[in-house]
Amino acid sequence: MASDELKIVLEDVKEKFDTVIEGITMVRETVERHEQKNDEQFRKIDTEFLVVKKDIRELREDITVLREDVTVLREDVSGLRQDLNDHRDNTELHAGRRKKA
């Protein structure tokens, strides 16, 4: 009789261990799924970061080109101003001579 009771207790303990093992297995699978999802999200973020980094690099290059263009335009405008002032001075000198004559 004691042997039967021991078997029942051992069977009950075995079932509880099986339940604990099954629970641990389920938790492990859940953690693995979350790890996979996190890995995928980090890969996406890394990819997006690289794209943004590339875009920033291209924008910096564009800004450099634009600055060079602005410098050239300023030089052109400065030259045009000088030409206009020279022309105006020449015109006023000619007009002034005509009035005197």
Cα–Cα distance measured from residue 67 to residue 70, given in angstroms and rounded to the nearest whole number = 5
**Residues 44-69 pLDDT 10s:** 999 999 999 999 999 999 999 999 99
Q: What is the mean pLDDT of the chain?
A: 91
- H/E segment holding residue 59: helix 2-100
Confidence (pLDDT) at 46: 96
Confidence (pLDDT) at 88: 86
**Of 2 and 16, which is predicted with more confidence?**
16
Confidence (pLDDT) at 8: 92
Average pLDDT for 27-35: 97
Cα–Cα distance measured from residue 40 to residue 36, given in angstroms and rounded to the nearest whole number = 6
